[in-house]
Amino acid sequence: MRASILLMLTVLFAGTAWSQGKVTGKVTDRASGEALPGVAVVVSGSGSGVFTGADGSYSIAANAASDKLMFTFIGYDSEMVEIGGQSSMNVAMSAGVDLDEVVVTALGVSREKKALGYSVQELGNGAFTQAKSENVVKSMTGKIAGVQVTSGTSIGSSSKIILRGASSITGDNQPLFVVDGVPMDNADYSGGDQQRSAGGYDYGNAMQDMNPDDIESVTVLKGPAAAALYGSRASNGAIVITTKTGKGHRASGKKGLGVSVSSTVAFNDVFILPDYQNSYGGGAGTDWINQNMVDSLGETPIPDYGYDGSWGPALDGTMVRHWDSWYEGDDGFGESRPWSASDSDVSEFFQTGVMYSNNFAVTGSNETSSFRMSYTTSRRVFTRILLWIGTPSHSQGLRT
């Protein structure tokens, strides 16, 4: 009896010792076959695990009869594999996991978003190429929390951006732009009159030269954390732009040259116009400029042509001398016309703008180098040609 029990314990101990042996193997990239160092290999349901070495190899203690191994690596799909009694097991991992939670902070360093102690938001290439704008800064409108974007209305005008409100009354409140580790200035080079909406020229700013098709991702660093990474110039935050390279072509497992072509068409039209009144014409008051002469001599009323406002006499159809009736030799010289609202509307002045943008890019890479060449053209056209001339009566105007 004792001998039988001893024999059973010996067999059980031997089986346990065999099942708790070492499992070894190598982890590689499924597409390229290259070794993957730093892959986490964990026994499922336990706290034990190891990382693969520089050559992708690993060795871990596990129950070969019942345990499963979990393989995880940033940028790759996780793999759950049953050991199935094997003592050696090689695993090939596939790239393609969504990297939205991995962000670029400073000097090209990638960090997991959940590991950061400050507010970070990231935009992918689609935010700049879908419903494309000619200005990268303008493309951020409504896509980042706490961001205020102010853009000009003319072609090539500047766009300014503020993160979390203004911090200075007289200084520059824009964040620092960093493109592939190179700081760039988005200062406004327009004249003083342009900046206070009193005429002048808007010369644009540097960031509008950035091609949206070349952007891989944009990371927005808000608050003091940006200053800690990039210095005092980033006291208002930092916008870190990473451009596309040829490395992505090789990472996807493709060989040879990669060619991409994209075309976009955007239509621009006026969305909201002010409410205009058609009850009063131009002038500072309800009197004609020759009011006394009209009352005493009965002459034709003359409107106040030089006043830029709509506080003049009511547009009731009174026969008046308009500004173009004073030019000798013109067909309408000396004629009077009714003081009435114009049939045309200010909305007829605006045209529907169309912007065509085409991008052609070639990429490639090998074990030692990579390249990407991109060419983009943009062209604006108008759907119709229309000349709108306001009536002499100043019938379209704001009246508050």
Same domain, 315 and 386: yes
Same domain, 72 and 177: no
Same domain, 138 and 227: yes
What whole-number distance in Å separates Cα of residue 179 and Cα of residue 234? Answer: 14
* Secondary structure letter of residue 387 according to DSSP: -
**What local confidence, expressed as pLDDT, does residue 179 receive?**
86
Listed residues 243, 261, 293: the one ending a domain: 243
Q: Which domain holds residue 66?
A: 2-93
CATH number of the domain bearing residue 49: 2.60.40.1120
**What local confidence, expressed as pLDDT, does residue 213 receive?**
82
**What local confidence, expressed as pLDDT, does residue 394 receive?**
37
**Cβ atoms of 309 and 397 closer than 8 Å:** yes
Same domain, 230 and 346: no
Name the token pair of 40: 């986490």
What whole-number distance in Å separates Cα of residue 233 and Cα of residue 285? Answer: 53
Same domain, 156 and 39: no
Same domain, 399 and 281: yes
Same domain, 219 and 268: no
List, in order, residues 6 or more apart from 121 with CB less than 8 Å away: 144, 145, 219, 220, 222
**What local confidence, expressed as pLDDT, does residue 268 receive?**
79
**What local confidence, expressed as pLDDT, does residue 14 receive?**
42
Quickly tell me which residue has 């003091």 as its tokens: 224
Q: pLDDT means per 10 residues in the chain (400 residues)?
A: 46 46 89 88 83 90 85 86 86 71 54 52 69 73 75 70 74 80 76 68 76 82 72 80 73 70 82 86 88 73 86 91 86 88 81 83 80 82 43 36
**What local confidence, expressed as pLDDT, does residue 76 receive?**
85
Name the token pair of 154: 């003319």
Same domain, 228 and 275: no
**What local confidence, expressed as pLDDT, does residue 57 receive?**
92
**What local confidence, expressed as pLDDT, does residue 120 receive?**
65
**What local confidence, expressed as pLDDT, does residue 254 receive?**
62
Listed residues 93, 112, 132: the one ending a domain: 93
**What local confidence, expressed as pLDDT, does residue 396 receive?**
39
List, in order, residues 6 or more apart from 267 with CB less than 8 Å away: 352, 353, 354
Give how many domains the chain has, as a whole number: 3
**What local confidence, expressed as pLDDT, does residue 85 receive?**
82
User: Would the pTM count as exceeding 0.75?
Assistant: no
CATH number of the domain bearing residue 225: 2.170.130.10
Listed residues 68, 93, 118: the one ending a domain: 93
**What local confidence, expressed as pLDDT, does residue 397 receive?**
39
